[in-house]
Structure 1
Amino acid sequence: MKYPLLETIDFPSDLRELPVDKLEALAAEMRRFIIEAVAAKEGHLGASLGVVELTLALHYAFNTPYDKLIWDVGHQAYGHKIITGRRSVFDTNRQFKGISGFPKMAESEYDAFGTGHSSTSISAALGMAIASRLQGDTKREHIAVIGDASIASGMAFEALNHAGDSKANILVILNDNAIGIDPSVGALKNYLTQVKTGSQRSVNIFEALNFRYFGPVDGHDIDKLLEIFKTLKKIEGPKFLHVITTKGKGLKQAERDQVKYHAPGKFDALTGELSPAKEAPQPPKYQDVFGLTLVELAKKNPKIVGITPAMPTGSSMKYMMQAFPERAFDVGIAEQHAVTLAAGIAASGGIAFCAVYSTFLQRAYDQLIHDVALQKLPVVFCIDRAGLVGEDGATHHGVFDLAYLRCIPNLIIYAPRNEESLRNIMFTAQEGLDLPIAIRYPRGRGTVIDWKKPFEKIELGKAEKLTEGDRLALIVTGHFTEKALKLAKIFSGSIAVYYFGFIKPLDTETLQDVFSTYDKILTLEDGVVKGGLASAIAEIALSSNYKGKIISLGIPDEFMEQGSTEELYQSIGLTDAQLQSTIHELLAE
């Protein structure tokens, strides 16, 4: 057998049959299994490598699934999945119709709570502990494993505040490796560093919150972990264990470059070397267009400030942080703070560019409404990862933003069709707007290699007619505009393509022209149909008493699973070939 110990472990009950002195060898096999799996199929690497020993110790010491184990965020849970019945199907991890890359309640009873975004584990574990107590079950353990970047989030502190006063049977394990996706930031990070080095002599912050504090302890020492878990199981009430780990443990490249090897793509499982990049010139990633354009604008406009909640690399705010460190801020996993910080800057005359993923902005919805839009503060939200994002699945698909933003008064919403329009709307925004603006763009690369063109100001609220056609009006927004133009070429002379970059304010004048000219309209968007562009068009059509036919294509009213974007588009009828077939049917009517 390739993995003689690991292949005998189907469930944690099998793990508990092993002698303790076999666990270190098992950890080595699990680490190799994860490396080979991620090297071939891609996924989150460094985080799972860092908690191999902790994973085994937890399932060995506690009676899962009766005892509830919750992994914060969840991209460190590969080892957990491998020993909880999913080793044989782990090659489907993050694949279409395969297992999720994150804990998922519907997938396994060992996944006590679904996760994908950070800082939820303590709240969930506390809720379970309270429910167990009310049901008369005082024996069950409730364990939240949370990272040092995640615990700095406001939600985590809210949960700690409640848990410390609850007398609930909860164990919070701080997996402290000084990094999330990017290095951890802030005063709490500095405090934890002092605790680890023994230079912290003042009150322990977690004991002050009424937790029994233990640690720091080496998270790669299985014997030490099992010893302390044995002690902790005897103690009732809220407990806090500080565990020190190394992200990427066991693969030297992943330990050395923890940011790149968080999710490195394909690499050589033996050497650890990343697969070589394609030599042919490629269009840039949208995030890099944003980041490099921001620096370009900031050089000429000293009022510009950049903000991102813990995603300097993912959003490419890193370029601004390198060029203007005093004018760019990574505020950690604190989306609510990021938005209101941007509002404060705008209220004092600054021009705040807040770069945030679409699904992460959901976490700051009240601040967006109450602190920004209500006060008409001209914050520029640059919303990355809009639309379907692929293998990260339901927790990360940015398909709701047009719907949840469109209902907010005083907010301009724009979806650029390519790199040039992203540059130009950023240029337009920093010249001075009276209202906040949300600019949403997809994950991945654009379409134009030569994208650094001279800036041009964009007329607010104006749609563009891109092709002529006499039989069907195709109304599109965002990067799907390229799909629409391909279709227009295939149906030459039949399809008029209208690009509505502005979803709000909507160009009602152009819409009235469309209504008066065409009796068939097709809308196309990379977001949920209900509440997005399609709904906006339907509302105007209804008020205008439009008698023609409107077909709306986009993301259906359901949570989309993981898979490549092409597989996901195929599943909902949005591939180029499927769109072509839909238009054939429309024109044949």
Structure 2
Amino acid sequence: MIDTLNVLSALDGPAELRELSHDALQELAADIRAELVEQVTRTGGHLGPNLGTVELCIALHRVFDSPDEPIIFDTGHQAYPHKMLTGRAGEFRRLRQAGGLSGYPSRAESIHDVVENSHASTALAYADGIARARSLRGDLRPVVAVIGDGAMTGGLAWEGLNNISDRVPRRLVVVLNDNGRSYAPTIGGFAAHLGDLAGRRRRLDAFARADGNIFTSLGLGYIGPVDGHDVGAVESALRRARACAIPTVVHCLTVKGKGYHPAERDTADCMHGVSSQGAPSAPAATSWTDVFSSALVGLGATNQQLVCLTAAMLRPVGLAAFADRFPDRVVDVGMAEQHAAACAAGFAYAGMHPVVAIYSTFLNRAFDQVLMDVALHQAPVTFVLDRAGITGDDGPSHHGMWDLALFAKVPGLRIAAPRDARRLREQLAEAITFNGPTLIRFPKGTIPDELPNLRYLPGVSILHGDVTGDVLIVAVGGMAAACVEAQRHLDRLQVTVVDPEWVVPVAPALLSLARKHRAVVVVEDGIRDGGVGDAITRTMHDNGLHMPMRTLGLPRRFISHGSRSDLLAEYGLTAAGIAESVMDLCHRSLK
């Protein structure tokens, strides 16, 4: 009998898979699952989605010759088995750790990773572009896109599907991984349609061009539904699709969390993500998300006009408690951030105050809707951005480091960055009474201890020092504690630390304070270019105030995965790093 665990660990590429017997493939699938459970529960990561794609990935690599026949994973958190089958099984001990494997496909890791894809619904468009380019060159090799039913709720997926079905000859196979879920159960009419197709359980040889489903109605080929945990059945379906002259959908039914009983029993999200202890990812102490969730429920009890929207992430962004209490006032739009923002504008027009709760990185996708559908109409919509700033082990696509620079450009949008639980509650309450657009952003993780005001000026809290001094440190949101700590290393200077609270627009009181200091340092956990520091500098210059200034923040580059604390330290956003930068500015500028 083949020692499949040794085969897995020795794989330099997937070609060896084609030599394995049926029994060996079953053992290989079991070993991949065992390795996933052991390693992912130790390092943390996406467990449920990958347990569901083991046989699917084996079949894909037996049928298609990656990377010459590229396999593109939509929402790449389902690609761990693909990584194992392409020579990286032995590297999972450092999954999502600094210098180790990324939690998503990564071109830097392997030629088999085509797209560094971790935002949903993009694979069909990417695959369409590759297939069209190949067609123009007379290249008949197929291109494969693997997309989950959850990602099919995103608008870009439908744009891709519409273009794939335009009858331009090309070799393209769409593998629809249908597990009935994104983070939570998939919503909407398309999910119901897939459920209907799955209920029919048509035979594999019932491939037809007009059998009453949405794909064939668009002119695509359709094969399925197929048991996605039967390697032979999936392989047979893929070979038929590979031979088709038109783009073809292979509909695979899988189970999220397959083969790991704790995940299969977890009806909330099938252990979509787990921490390093093997439990669903959540900090043990009170988190920013917990405080937001509790405050929102309290506000909802007294304000019947308050409604909430999310994009397939009800629990991760803290809306589950609100949904339990007020189920008719929560809308999950699926992985469709653009729709969430524009729909919220409609709610506002109709007299409601919508709160759109979303990860910071994902609101990037809806910038146009925030700008043109919400802000242009001065719609009273509140965006609450979780996971702002450095988020850690999910890597460059998930760091919420772009929000301040992007949304500070939006006319009329007020932006708050609370420093602690009390300010989060206060600013959320203020936001939902404001007759215009607002945005509140906070980081991932445990909420810090309260930082009391020593003195309050209109729009600005003084956390240390007085209204005059040598250096004014402007602390943005979650950076406040580190800034207060930094002044302890600056005993030779008169330092004032302030929290502007609503960081956009710039409070006039902040300019008054700046005039009474010799230098200004702004500390933020977003990119320096175009962020709060730039807004303060520009406002000061517009008001004739020119003085030594420095903004401490993140560089304009894609930052790799690693712990939040390590990455903040790397970029000088700790108390020691802030103090060192302040001393350097004073040494250079204050003689």
Q: What secondary structure is seen at the aligned counterpart in 1 of 2:440? A: strand
Partner of 1:261: 271
Structure 1: how far apart are the matches of 2:376 and 2:18? 57
Instruction: State how 1:116-155 maps to structure 2 within 5 Å.
Output: 116-138=118-140, 140-155=141-156
The answer to whether structure 1 residue 247 and structure 2 residue 256 are counterparts is yes
Tell me the CA shift for residue 587 of structure 1. Answer: 4.7
Provide the residue aligned with 1:308 in structure 2. 310
Q: Is the 8 A contact 1:460 1:502 kept in 2?
A: no
How far off is 1:87 after superposition? 2.1
Cα distance in structure 1, aligned partners of 2:122 and 2:219: 20
Q: 2:245 aligns with which of 236, 243, 247?
A: 236
- Supply the AA of the counterpart residue of 1:565: R
Equivalent pair of 1:171/1:238 in contact (CA under 8 Å): yes
Please name the residue that 2:101 is paired with: 99
Question: Secondary structure of the equivalent of 1:396?
Answer: coil
Which residue identity lines up with residue 343 of structure 1 in the other structure? A
1:462-477 to structure 2, matched below 5 A, reads 462-468=459-465, 470-477=469-476
Q: Tell me the equivalent position of 1:196.
A: 198
Aligned runs of 1:160-199 on 2, under 5 Å? 160-165=161-166, 166-198=168-200
- 25, 32, 50: which one pairs with 2:27? 25
Q: Which amino acid aligns with 1:569?
A: L
1:202 Cα deviation (Å)?
7.8
- In structure 1, distance between residues paired with 2:160 and 2:436: 35
User: Residues 439-487 of structure 1, C-alpha deviation per residue, up to 9 Å, x if partnerless?
Assistant: 11111111248x9x9xxxxx99712222215221101111111111122
Q: C-alpha displacement at 1:495, in angstroms?
A: 1.3
Residue 447 of structure 2 corresponds to which residue in structure 1? 446
Query: Shift of residue 13 of structure 1?
Result: 1.8
Task: State the Cα distance separating 1:260 from its structure 2 match.
Answer: 5.5
8 Å CA contact retained: 1:8, 1:14 = no
Among all aligned residue pairs of Structure 1 and Structure 2, give the percentage whose two residues are the same amino acid: 36
Q: Which amino acid aligns with 1:386?
A: A
Contact 1:508 1:540 in 2 (8 A): no
Q: Determine the C-alpha separation between the residues in 1 that align with 2:86 and 2:65.
A: 12
What is the aligned partner in structure 2 of residue 582 from structure 1? 581
Q: Per-residue displacement from partner, 1:307-329 (whole Å, max 9, x unpaired)?
A: 11111011011111110011111
| AA in 2 matched with 1:523 | V
Q: Which residue of 2 aligns with 1:10?
A: 12
**Aligned to 2:351, what secondary structure does the other structure show?**
coil
Match of 1:499 in 2: 499
8 Å CA contact 2:241, 2:249 repeated in 1: no
Question: How far 1:547 moved relative to its partner?
Answer: 3.8
Q: 1:177 to 1:542 in 2, by over 3 A?
A: same
Paired with 2:36 and 2:463, the residues of 1 have a C-alpha distance of 48
- Judge conservation of contact 1:461–1:502 (CA < 8 Å) in 2: no
Q: Is the 8 A contact 1:10 1:87 kept in 2?
A: no
Structure 1 segment 322-341 matched on structure 2, within 5 A: 322-341=324-343
Which amino acid in the other structure matches residue 550 of structure 1? M
Aligned partner of 1:439: which letter? I
Q: Match of 1:497, as an amino acid?
A: V
1:581 Cα deviation (Å)?
Answer: 2.8
SS at match of 1:3: helix
For 1:74-85, what aligned pairs fall within 5 Å after superposition? Answer: 74-85=76-87
Matched letter for residue 413 of structure 1? I
Partners of 1:581 and 1:299 in 2: CA distance = 47
Distance 1:127 1:404 in 2: 28
Q: 2: distance between equivalents of 1:59 and 1:367?
A: 40
Q: Given that residues 526 and 554 in structure 1 are in contact (C-alpha distance below 8 angstroms), is that contact kept between their aligned partners in structure 2?
A: yes
Aligned residues: 572
Q: 1:355·1:383 contact (CA, 8 Å) conserved in 2?
A: yes
Q: Report deviation, 1:199.
A: 9.1
Q: In 1, Cα distance between the equivalents of 2:136 and 2:440?
A: 47
Q: Secondary structure of the equivalent of 1:89?
A: helix
Q: Counterpart in 1 of 2:205?
A: none
Q: Is the 8 A contact 2:86 2:112 kept in 1?
A: yes
Over 3 Å counting, the alpha-carbon distance change for 1:275 and 1:58 in structure 2 is closer
- Give the direction of change, closer, same or farther, for the CA distance of 1:145–1:555 in structure 2 (3 Å limit): same
Give the secondary-structure state (helix, strand or coil) at the position aligned to 1:5: helix
How far apart, CA to CA, are the structure 2 residues paired with 1:343 and 1:275? 32
2:305/2:351 contact within 8 Å kept: yes
SS state of the match for residue 466, structure 1?
strand
- Give the counterpart letter for 1:255 in structure 2: E
Work out the CA distance in 1 between the residues paired with 2:509 and 2:584. Answer: 29
Q: Secondary structure at the match of 2:225?
A: strand
Question: Which residue type is aligned with residue 488 of structure 1?
Answer: Q
Alpha carbons of structure 1 residues 417 and 116: separation in structure 2 relative to 1, 3 Å: same
- Quote the residue 1:402 is aligned against: 404
SS at the partner of 2:116? coil
- SS of alignment partner, residue 88 of structure 1: helix
Alignment-mate amino acid for residue 247 of structure 2 = P
Counterparts in 2 of 1:30 and 1:11: CA distance versus 1, 3 Å: same
What are the within-5 Å matches in structure 2 for residues 378-527 of structure 1?
378-430=380-432, 432-448=433-449, 462-468=459-465, 470-491=469-490, 494-514=494-514, 516-527=515-526
When structure 1 is superposed on structure 2, of 5-14 and 335-344 the one drifting more is: 5-14
Q: Which runs of 5+ in 2 are unaligned?
A: 203-209
For residues 448 and 353 of structure 1, the distance between their equivalents in structure 2, rounded to whole angstroms, comes to 26
Contact 2:256 2:270 in 1 (8 A): no
User: Whole-Å Cα distance in 1 between the matches of residues 546 and 511 of structure 2?
Assistant: 14
1:456 aligned residue: none
CA contact (8 A) 2:309 2:355 kept: yes
TM-superposition CA deviations, 1:530-564 (whole Å, max 9, x none): 11111012212322343421121011111111000
Residue deviations 1:288-310, cap 9 Å, x none? 21122111111111111111111
Q: In structure 1, what is the Cα distance between the partners aligned to 2:56 and 2:363?
A: 32
- Aligned to 1:287, the other structure's residue is in SS state helix
Output the CA distance in 2 between the equivalents of 1:423 and 1:54: 46
Task: State the 1:2 CA deviation.
Answer: 9.0
Query: Which residue identity lines up with residue 208 of structure 1 in the other structure?
Result: S
Q: State which drifts further: 257-266 or 113-122.
A: 257-266
* AA at the equivalent of 2:495: I
**Amino acid of the residue matched to residue 348 of structure 2?**
A
Q: Describe the superposition over 1:351-372 as per-residue Cα deviations: whole angstroms up to 9, x where unpaired.
A: 1111111111111111111111
Q: Tell me the distance in 2 between the aligned counterparts of 1:33 and 1:266.
A: 14
Cα deviation per residue 1:381-405 (whole Å; 9 max; x = unaligned)?
1111110100001111111111111
Partner residue in 2 for 1:537: 536
2: distance between equivalents of 1:440 and 1:434?
Answer: 19
Q: Distance in 1 between matches of 2:457 and 2:317?
A: 25
Q: Comparing 342-351 with 164-173, which one deviates more in the overlay?
A: 164-173
Residues 518 and 548 in structure 1, CA contact (< 8 A), matched pair in contact too: no
The verdict on how the C-alpha distance between 1:460 and 1:120 changes in structure 2, with shifts beyond 3 A counting, is farther
| CA distance, structure 1, for counterparts of residue 45 and residue 372 of structure 2 | 37
Quick one: which of 204, 208, 211 aligns to 2:217? 208
How high is the TM-score relative to the length of structure 1? Answer: 0.93
